[in-house]
Amino acid sequence: MSEVVDRFLKYVKFDTKSDEDSESIPSTAKQLVLAKELVCDLKAIGLLDAEVDDKGYVMASLPSNMDKKVPEIGFIAHMDTSPEISGKDVKPQIVDNYDGKDIILNKDKNVILSPAEFPELLKYKGKTLITTDGTTLLGADDKAGVSEIISAVSYLTKHPEVKHGTVHVAVTPDEEIGRGADYFDVKKFGAEVAYTVDGGSIGELEYENFNAAGAKVFIEGRSVHPGDAKNKMINAVEIAGEFMGLLPKNEVPEHTEKYEGFYHACSVKGSIEEAEIQYIIRDFDKESFENRKKLIAAVGSFINKKYGMEIVKVEVKDQYYNMKEKIEPHKHVVDIAYKAMENASVTPVVSPIRGGTDGARLSYMGLPTPNMFTGGMNFHGKYECIPTFAMEKAVEVIVEIIKLYSAK
């Protein structure tokens, strides 16, 4: 196995699932276990200033080996995995020389990774894949990015003949719950520009992302014995269904693509007395984004007016914004990554992120930070997988980016 694959197989064994209901920083203490391991690994390859702070942010730097000043650049990934599915006891499976057929992830549970459902698998016939065992996620989002960054810097320490400026490395907690940049110290990090290594399939290069907000809908019902409920009971569960039905039915993730925005009901819970719906709201266009927030609030007002009392309360909170506005004045960061991919014989695929990364918020904090691929697919679920060659190419692209900045 290559260094980057070995690192990845090591890191996915750490359970780093974040928790959006936690108020601690980081949201789960187990993220700190991996953070401390990363500090040890960074020091082992020669980054002696590596450290993790009390909030779980890992930072380190590789000093320049040049006699002239060139831009200081950074690479960022996140250590946490999605709260949507377990990341405990991950048992990665190696599929050598993939034949293009169904992959049985878990025979007992009848979990099958099939090109009939995931046709992009066919692009990787003859390649080595790393998959789950069908019971957890894999963790390529974003332990692949962590592994690729550290492996790229390791390569530079082993090859001092490769000239480079100062390279900064950071690994953040809690990206999956939208808090990855909350306590990121841009000044301490020290980079002039940076790249998140947090994308999907090989070649992805992104500098546009959703504008994002979260919405919580609280519904207060009235419980009365069902035998005597006429004109008395207010069933909060039924009101929740009514609320959801008043939003555009086709403007949901499963019916949208490319630059189309959506409303996504992430969870619904409740009883007759009270119910709660959690939404995320996404749109690339700022005006459409603002209109979506207004509509979800208006639905609450409509229901309150219909029932003649305030039984619905809607809270909307912005999460991050489209980084395009902040990247375009520094478009060279995208152009250099594009050229680096070409140098590494990777075809660049410039596309919008139908999601977000730490880079979106960091760009608004004064650090222009586009996003590049890790090579993974089907994130946040038991069908997650990653081709090993794509991870190796990501390492090569990172090194090429560093070389291009050093030649400026």
SS3 content of the chain, % helix, strand, coil (to 5): 35, 25, 45
- Cβ-contact 181, 171 below 8 angstroms: no
The rounded Cα 70 to chain-centroid distance in angstroms is 30
Catalytic-labelled residue, pool 15, 80, 141, 384: 80
> What type of residue is 292?
R
Q: What are 143's two structure tokens?
A: 């332990």
Q: Characterize 249-266 residue by residue with b for buried, 16 or more Cβ atoms within 10 angstroms of its Cβ, and e for exposed.
A: eebeeeebeeeebbbebe
Catalytic-labelled residue, pool 3, 41, 141, 175: 175
Active site residue 80: yes
Handedness of CA 256, 242, 320, 182 (dihedral sign): negative
Residue 300 sits at φ, ψ, to 5 deg, of -60, -45
Active site residue 175: yes
Residue 328 burial (CB count, 10 A) = 12
CA–CA dist 208, 226 (Å, integer): 52
> What type of residue is 222?
R
Q: What are 234's two structure tokens?
A: 């207010």
Active site residues per annotation: 80, 175
